[in-house]
Structures are given as C-alpha cells and as structure tokens.
Amino acid sequence: MKKTVMVDMDEVITEGGFLHLINEFAGTNYTKDDVKGYYMQDLISDKDAFFKYYITKNQYDYGILIPDVVEVLNILKDYYDIYICSSYIIKEIPKECGILLLYKHNYLCEKLPFIPVNNYAFVNNKSIINCDIKIDDKIDNLVNADIKILFTSYHNKDLDDEFLKENGIIRANNWLEVKNILLKELDNESNSTKK
Ligand SMILES: [Mg+2]
C-alpha cells in the first residue's frame, strides 16, 4: 500500500499572492524579509480596510508556483498517495473566507491536474489529518506524522537544526530536497522489507 503524504498549499505549492495584495493595497514594496513572524497582515496598520480590499481579489491570481513543485509531485504521485491539505480561514475574517475554498480548489485543479480532486482537504486544524508524511511550512501542522518535513519559508528559516532535530523534523529548502527525501524513503522501505 502506498504511504500517504499531506502537502500544504500556501508557501509550499504557491507563494507571493498575499504579499502582492498587501503591497497593492498599501502602495508599498515589502518583501518576505520585511515580515516579522508568521502573519503578513501584521505589516498593515488598518487591517479592516485591507481585508475589505483583499476579499474582493483572488490572491492566487497574483502568486507564483514554487519552483519544481509540479514536476516533483508528478513523480511522487506514482509512489505515494498525495493529499493537498490547506487551511482557508483567515483569523481576522473567518466568516468571509468561503470564497477562498473556490479559489484554492480552482487553482489546484488548474496547476496540479494529476492530483485527484478527491484528495483535497480544506481544514484549519491539520492535526486531525492522519498521514504518514506531512510537508508544511508551519511547525504546528506537522503533528501526527511519522515523517515531518518543514518546508523552508520566510517565517521558519531561522529555526535552528538542533531544535528541529529534537522535534523529529527534517528541513527541506526546496522541492528537489523533498524529492530526495521521499525517494530515499522508498529505498529504506524496500531494504527493510528485504531483510
Ligand atoms: Mg503554509
């Protein structure tokens, strides 16, 4: 039986759209390096006005695919059952976020057509998802997995190796590293079943 892999969407499959809208709204040129902490909206002082603007736009129209994600997932899907698991709730506007389900769904259908639509899971609390392997940029989302892969992002890049090791987390800086980790895992498995 294939092992299951949970893949996060924002900052793992795609990035840039949310920050683009912040800059468009505020007339700024912020980059990811300007973000302190996890929440990009903390760059904005008038969050109410920003989210009124934000919700009229589709952030996925302005994002980019993370390099190699399509090619690598297209390879890995032959060896693993891939699930895309994404939260769609923004804490400041939880009740207005239904439209994000549509945007995320459409983006995934278009960009990753080889992943079955039935394998999308839109949920805020990812700890309820049971997968063998989890790939996410947010540490809290890696619980309940045998292999926890932290995808490097602006808000986690300074977490040191010692901390990650103590928590059983492997860092992947890009999708080629994810590919190496998961293809090596297949080797490990076939070696252990031969013994
Ligand atoms: Mg994410």
What the block records as the tokens of 152 is 């490097």
Q: What spacing in Å lies between the alpha carbon of 13 and ligand 1's midpoint?
A: 8
Contact 72, 176 (CB under 8 A): yes
Q: What does the pLDDT look like over 55-78, one tens digit per residue? A: 999 999 999 999 999 999 999 999
Domain 3-14+65-194 carries which CATH code?
3.40.50.1000
Q: What does the pLDDT look like over 107-124, one tens digit per residue? A: 999 999 999 999 999 999
Given phi > 0 = left and psi -120 to 50 = alpha, else beta, which region is 168?
A: left
Alpha-carbon distances, residue 169 vs 37, 38, 115, 136, 177 (angstroms): 20, 19, 25, 11, 14
How far apart CA 100 and CA 1 sit, in angstroms, is: 33
| 189 against 46, higher pLDDT | 46
Q: What spacing in Å lies between the alpha carbon of 136 and ligand 1's midpoint?
A: 6
The CB density around residue 74, as the number of other CB atoms within 10 Å, is 14
Contact 119, 108 (CB under 8 A): no
Work out whether strand 14-15 and strand 64-65 pair parallel, antiparallel, or are unpaired. antiparallel
| Mean per-residue pLDDT over the chain, rounded | 96
Q: What spacing in Å lies between the alpha carbon of 190 and ligand 1's midpoint?
A: 31
Q: What spacing in Å lies between the alpha carbon of 189 and ligand 1's midpoint?
A: 28
195 — pLDDT class (breaks 50, 70, 90): low
Q: What spacing in Å lies between the alpha carbon of 138 and ligand 1's midpoint?
A: 6
Q: What does the pLDDT look like over 87-110, one tens digit per residue? A: 999 999 999 999 999 999 999 999
Q: What spacing in Å lies between the alpha carbon of 78 and ligand 1's midpoint?
A: 24
| pLDDT of amino acid 83 | 98
How far apart CA 177 and CA 195 sit, in angstroms, is: 27
Q: What spacing in Å lies between the alpha carbon of 51 and ligand 1's midpoint?
A: 19
The residue ranges of every structural domain in the chain are: 3-14+65-194
Contact 40, 160 (CB under 8 A): no
Q: What spacing in Å lies between the alpha carbon of 12 and ligand 1's midpoint?
A: 6
Q: What spacing in Å lies between the alpha carbon of 1 and ligand 1's midpoint?
A: 27
Q: What spacing in Å lies between the alpha carbon of 123 and ligand 1's midpoint?
A: 12
Q: What spacing in Å lies between the alpha carbon of 101 and ligand 1's midpoint?
A: 15
Q: What spacing in Å lies between the alpha carbon of 46 and ligand 1's midpoint?
A: 24
How far apart CA 126 and CA 142 sit, in angstroms, is: 8
Contact 170, 189 (CB under 8 A): no
Q: What does the pLDDT look like over 124-171, one tens digit per residue? A: 999 999 999 999 999 999 999 999 999 999 999 999 999 999 999 999
